[in-house]
Amino acid sequence: MNLYFVVMIGWMMGWPVVEDHWHRRDFVAAEWRWPSNEDHMWPSRLCMVDDLMASGRLDGLRRDEVVELLGPGQAKDDLPGGDWSGGIMYHLGPERGFIRIDSEWLFVEFDGAGIVSDYGLYRD
């Protein structure tokens, strides 16, 4: 097998993973709500979302507490793709990976009492 081909395939598969870890940083609520000095390929929210989800800070919060922490976001009902049942979506930036043509979002869903029931990443 051609060494050049092997190196190129390895770079295409490995570089996005390395780049993602290189850009990760701790969640800071003020920077999430009012990002400054934005890098369009690696916006603040995209760099902080993994820390936010791993920390469990959203677990058990009421809707108003989520809005206080993260800002108003976008109503999930405004997005295509069906009934989102009143959750909130936060645009993170371009999806992570080799070909970054779609967007990545954080979704937050609430139960009947208005408490966070689920959250995760969504790619459109």
Query: Can you spell out the DSSP letters for 41-58?
Result: SS-HHHHHHHHHHHHTTT
Rounded to two decimals, what is the model's pTM? Answer: 0.74
Domains of the chain: which residue ranges? 3-123
pLDDT at 65: 97
What average pLDDT does the segment 59-65 reach?
96
User: For residue range 66-120, what is the model confidence (pLDDT) as tens digits?
Assistant: 999 999 988 665 555 555 567 899 988 888 776 767 888 999 999 999 999 999 9
Average pLDDT of the chain, as a whole number: 80
What average pLDDT does the segment 32-59 reach?
84
Q: What's the rounded Cα separation, in Å, for the pair 30 and 120?
A: 21
Q: What distance lies between CA 35 and its chain's CA centroid?
A: 14
DSSP assignment letter at 68: H
Structure tokens at 70: 């993260």
User: For residue range 22-40, what is the model confidence (pLDDT) as tens digits?
Assistant: 556 789 999 888 876 666 6
